[in-house]
Chain A
Amino acid sequence: MSLSIQPYSAEQPVNPYLDVDLYDPDADLMVLNLGPQHPSTHGVFRVKLILDGEVIVKAIGYPGYLHRGVEKLCEKLNYSNIKAIIDKNDYISPMINEQAVNMAFEKLAGVEVPRRALWLRSLLAEFQRIASHLIALGTFGLDVGGALGGGASAFMYCFRDREMILDVFEELSGCRFHYNTHCVGGNRHDVPAGWDRMVLPALEVIEARLDELVDMMVNNQVFVDRTQGVGVIPKNLALGLGLTGPNGRASGIDCDLRRDAPYNAYGEVEVRPAVRSAGDCQARFLCRVDEIRESARLARLFLAGLPEGPISGTKPNKGPTSVKIKEGRCYVGLSTPRGELGTYLIAGGNKGLSPYRLKIRPPSLHHLASIPYILPGNNLSDAIAILGSLDPVMGEADR
């Protein structure tokens, strides 16, 4: 008996709970553990693949190798201490992670954030989005094949360009990675003098080099063969799984919280999210390319329009106990490079100094939940391309 499994389509969905007989001598199936330490899993993520020859029959995902109990720790920490460990969740875009929890705290505490801080937060978020997508594009090139023209070299080019954004952040906050620059009620670091002379050339260089990168990869026939029509996620499956961000938009979900539920300063500018309908690996890649261009445009707008005024609405923190929220509960979502990062907060733990429950909705975990559906029916080599195109960050998926 030979199993014929077709890749997921709306007409013929894949059953992720398929019962397979591993000891059937006629089927001759093989179990292969991809990961946890495999470069294509972008961290420590294990997929148990059941193979029929080279075709995947069933895929079972095992996250949790990087589980650090962040939500449990948050129940013990004071509000102003939490963002320092939330930074480490999505370690590719820490700047936006801090904002997510701060937005929830500000909403429940009723703290007004000055307009300059809102614009500065949006500006920093757009820079972080560019840096994060550059990593996604570069590592995807590596996944698809270092031997291709535009594999390992694209990876190096992307990291070189990302370095400029890290320099910009270092100039602002003193840190290259875990910034800790947002606080409840505003920001801690104002823009240093002459910052724009550093920022604008960086944006120009990145945009110019992005065209080269696209030439190298999208116009490469080998890259097209390996990504076009591979790992298609139909729109309905993407909605049910909760695929947000570029992964969802590549499947035709026209939803971007920056435009549809504006926070920070996004209500004051026009945001044009990149939406594609193909839903394959190439569409996800191209969505990220378009988002870098859009982010560069937005970053210029935010820099030009940065209003004058105070940077924080509250007095400087005298101690870790200065933020107190007696009670309340809320859900706040914002758009990170990966998708909707939600914070569900129940206040009132530890006499109002800590959250009673803080649940983080990591977009990466939802993206990884799609692999039991989209891997079966594909070749083993395509599994690497699909995993890479989802751009998961295990730090936030496992927390």
Chain B
Amino acid sequence: MTTAEKVAALTGTEVQELETEFVVAPEHHFALAELLQSEGYTFYITVAATHFAGEVPNKKNPEGSPETFQVATVLRKPEPGASSFACWRVELAAGEPIDSLVPLFEGADWQGREQFDLVGVVFKNHPDLRRLMMPEDWEGHPLRRDYAIETAHPPWR
């Protein structure tokens, strides 16, 4: 059984190639990372959260659409000669938390904090979820789509 088949069996989605981003349900996120770690994907690479602003009902989209988040995780297999990576994403509704990978990978600590700080995705079971880049008393999450670059702030010290 190849790794891609095992991943497909676990998540119930069709996975052709691990390097092409595939979608995973939030409840399978942690188990998938555990499976991939045992399959040799032991190198923690990155996590990237993205905010998709919802739409208010308009002419083109009479129903409107809710605001959503996507969190992509990348793990690498450090094999001499032929290294490959696995990239998957989890789609979340607004306010829905995602499992933190800190119990498996120490690097998920700061990376998770950065995404929490800039995008506002909440990581469950994170031991120390604080802002990383912005000042502690900053309001809002700057990498959200509805956060305008021109947003005025009192001068920071």
Contact = CB atoms under 8 A, between A and B. Distances in A.
B134 A240 contact: no
A159 interface: no
Contacts, number: 117
A344 interface: yes
B11 interface: no
Given A254-B80, A333-B45, A342 B74 contact: yes
Nearest to A340: B45
B83 A255 contact: yes
Contacts of A242: 43-46, 105, 107
B104 to A, nearest CB: 7
A88 interface: no
A369 B110 CA distance: 6
Given A255-B78, A261-B84, A72 B143 contact: yes
A255 B43 contact: yes
B50 A346 contact: yes
A241 B76 CA distance: 12
Q: SS class of chain A's interface: helix, strand, loop or mixed? A: mixed
Interface residues on B, range: 35 or more
Given A254-B78, A331-B85, A356-B50, A361 B132 contact: no
Contacts of A261: 82-84
Contact of B46 (A67, A344, A368): A344
A254 B79 CA distance: 7
Nearest to B51: A357
Interface in B47-94: 48, 50, 72, 74, 76, 78-85, 87
B80 A260 contact: yes
Contacts of A257: 83
Q: SS class of chain B's interface: helix, strand, loop or mixed? A: loop
B21 interface: yes
A117 interface: no
B109 interface: yes
Contact of A260 (B50, B79, B118): B79
Nearest to B84: A261
A359 B50 CA distance: 9
A365 B110 contact: yes
Interface of B: 19, 21, 42-46, 48, 50, 72, 74, 76, 78-85, 87, 104-107, 109-111, 114, 118, 127-128, 131-135, 142-143, 147, 149
The 8 A-B residue pairs whose C-beta atoms are closest, nearest first, are A260-B83, A359-B48, A255-B78, A361-B46, A64-B133, A242-B107, A242-B44, A369-B110
